[in-house]
Structure formats: structure tokens, C-alpha cells
Amino acid sequence: MFENYNFKNFIYEALAELKFKEPTEVQDEVIPKVLNDENVIVKSKTGTGKTHAFLIPILNNVTSDKEVQSVIIVPTRELAFQIYEETQKITKFSKEFIDVRTYVGGTDRENEIARLQNSQPQIVIGTIGKIKDLAIDTNLLKIHTAKTVVVDEADMVFESSELVELDSIFARFSDDFQALAFSATIPHELVIFLNKYISKFEIVDLTDKNITHENITHIFIPTKNKNKHDLLVELLNIVTPYLALIFANTKVMVDEVAKNLGANGFKVGVLTGDLQPRQRKQILRRIRNGEFQYVVASDIASRGIDIIGVSHVINFELPNDLEFFIHRSGRTGRLDLTGTSISFYDFDDDLYLNKLEAKGLSCTYMEIKNGELVDMKERNRIRTKAKDRLKVEELVHKSIPLPKKVKPGYRKKRKEHIKKTLRKMKRSKIEEIYRRKARKK
């Protein structure tokens, strides 16, 4: 129970208002370690309460010193604002003012500089580029006094081109700072990077073998060469989501989906990566205020943005990367709530589905008939076909070996050759099916 941690009074007042009765698993594992000044890498699914796992002990440990005490590094401005909002829900109960500031791109830089020249924040929440600008380039943000450093959504950070900037930031911290990293996966680069600055840290893996929450139902609907836009309208007339996040892979497709839904009478919000900071902040506020029941989004919304109350995630298109499927579906079923993930798939996606099942995902196959979602009778046959196709692809890969030393461009040519071979095999199989049907006639 939270009572066992002996927090300051204002923390307990905040927990009462937030209606946090007992810690989640990640909070129960991490909070004692943070309070004990240990270095931790936490592998945890989205929606498990990890933000408060580091916020609560950090705010509990804040002293009256008017200097930077904790730095929270995030990959996106949306995540920075989200963490700031959660911080404010706690600090408002403190009798002493706790100076928490966010530093992200697209804000009033002159005002930030003037304020830093006057005083330093106690808690810093910011993106890599902005922290580097203020702490390294202009030397106005004095992060060298920080005792705790958090890297949230670390796998996003370590797959980006900002590692050099992050390295320069970490070089400014003192030799004995506490490091905390939170990630859905643990990239090898993350461990190597932290080893450079920290001699000892513990890895806490709370993901088990399941790739998504047990309280998320995963439904897969075949398109069967139907118009996917019409299929989506049919689906939304069947399900009644509290809030649905509808994902497409490109901005062009996001716009097409949103336009079609609007033409069919649905009030739709749009969230993509090319929105200006002010526009993005405005659309997120409108979503949280309940103005939209349907939001069409690119993968900018699948990471680092916590939209409360998402009851359904709909994959209009399956993401190319399985990890993005996990992150998308993780937008629903957060904490103790149930959620539904619905994905459209085509015949070419059988292998994709097979890989998801191999990772432990429990898949329910359904189709739309007479205005209802019904179980598919072909479910087992589809699985068998996917396994057979996996074997065929493995044989094709083996038939076109990859030498230890390759010339520039060979990998790309090999990949194209494999795709071409598989397409040719598929066409041959389809032609054979039609020949058999012709013979029967």
C-alpha cells in the first residue's frame, strides 16, 4: 500500500484526489528503488502507471534548494506536456512552491531565457534538443546539480538521431547522479549508453511473455478485397466506442480516412506528425474534452501520448513493424480498464498475423455479416495457410543466401529479388487454382 512508503503529506493528499488506492505492479517495484537511490532500467508495457512510478518519489524527494534536482528527458513535446500535467496534479498540494518547467520546441525562447537568468527550476521536463539548447549551447539551464535523471520512452530516444546530443547532456551531470530509464523494449544501445556513465544498474522486466495487456481483446477482420473505407463505416455502425483511435500508416491515408468518415456523418479529429505544435496541443485538448468520438491518427499518437478513455484502437492499416502494432494497441486497455483492438487485414497479411500469434498474442478472427460481427469459420484454415507460407518464405530466403561480405546495394537487390520470387510463386498458385476450377466445369 502507498501508506507503507511514508511519503510527505502533500503526496498522500494528491493520491487521494487521484483515487490511487494502491500501487500498480511497476510502481510497487520501482518506487522503493528510486527512494533507495538505485539506478534502474524498467521494461514495462504502456498504461501500467510508470509515469507515477518515477514522479511520486521524485516529488517526494524535492528539497527547498532552488536548483535543478531532477531532469526528465522525453522524445516528444506531447509526452513532456503530459508528464507536466500529471506533476501539477501532485505539486498543487504542496505548501511550498515546487518549480516545475517544461522545455520543448516551439515555445517562447526569450521568456524561457529571461526566467532562467532569474532562477533555476527544481524539476526539468524536456525534449533532447531543447535541453541541449538551454543547458549546453547557452549554458543557462544548470543541469549539473541534478540528482536524478529520467529517460522516458527510452526505445524511442535510442532509435533516433539525437544520441550525440543526449551524450552531451549526460556529460553535464555529476558523477553520482541516479539514472532511471523506462521503455517498452530495452534496446542494446540503451544498455551500452548507460554503461558509459553508470557502473551499476538493475533491469526490471515486467512484461512477462505476453506482448500486450490481458484486458485487451484483439479482433482481426479480413477485407476480402472489399473497399476498406466502406468496411470501416460498417464497423463503426456496429461498435459503439467511447473513444476510438483509428490508425493509418501515412498522412495521405489518414486524410483519406478522415475525409470519408466525415462524409458519412462522423465527427472526426485528425492527429498527424506534420501538425504545428499549437495545432497539435489544441487537437489533444479537444480530444480530452470529449469533442471527438473518433480520432484518425498516424503513429505519432501511438507513442508518448496518453489519451484518456480510448475504448477502441482500429488499425485501418497494419503497421509495418510488429512493435508499432503493440504500441498502437497499448493506447487502449490502460491500467485496470478493458479495451478492444480491431485490425483490418488482407490475404497478404497472413504471415504478419502468424508472427503475432507466435509472440503470444491471442487473436480473434471475425467478419462483418448482415450488420453484425460474427466469428469466422475459416479461422483455423487461415492459420494453417499462414504457417505454410512462413515455411515457403524461409525456403526462398535460404535459396538466395546472404554472403558474409556484400557489395553496397546488394541487400536491397536481394530483398527485391525475394519479393519478386514470392509474388511469382503466388501468381502461379492462383493460376493453378483457376485451372482446377476450369477443369471441374
Q: How many CA atoms lie within 13 A of 369 on its CB side?
A: 6
pLDDT at 399: 64
pLDDT at 126: 95
CATH architecture of 216-383: 3-Layer(aba) Sandwich (3.40)
Topology alike, domains 2-205 and 216-383: yes
Concatenating the DSSP letter of every residue in 286-341 gives HHHTT--SEEEE-GGGTSS---TT--EEEESS--SSHHHHHHHHTTSS-TT--EEE
Residue 273 bridge partners (DSSP): none
pLDDT at 275: 77
CATH 1.10.10.60 applies to domain 2-205? no
Q: From first to last of the 441 residues of the chain, give the pLDDT tens digit.
A: 788 888 999 999 999 999 988 898 889 989 999 999 999 998 877 667 889 999 999 999 999 999 999 999 998 888 899 999 999 999 999 999 999 999 998 888 899 999 999 999 999 999 999 999 999 999 999 999 999 999 998 877 776 667 888 889 999 998 889 999 988 777 667 777 877 887 678 888 876 555 566 778 999 999 887 899 999 999 999 998 888 999 999 889 999 999 999 999 999 999 887 777 778 778 888 887 788 899 999 886 556 566 777 889 999 999 888 878 888 888 887 656 788 999 999 878 888 888 888 777 888 899 898 888 888 865 545 555 555 555 566 666 666 666 655 566 666 777 777 777 777 776 776 666 666 666 665
pLDDT at 301: 59
Cell, residue 9: 503529506
Nearest to residue 357, comparing CAs of 322, 321, 394? 322
Structural domain boundaries of the chain?
A: 2-205, 216-383, 400-440
Residues 6+ apart with CB under 8 A from 8: 60, 94
Cell, residue 12: 498522500
Cell, residue 230: 466502406
pLDDT at 160: 65
The overall pTM is greater than 0.75 = no
pLDDT at 416: 76
Query: Using CA atoms, how far apart are residues 122 and 59, in angstroms rounded to an integer?
Result: 10
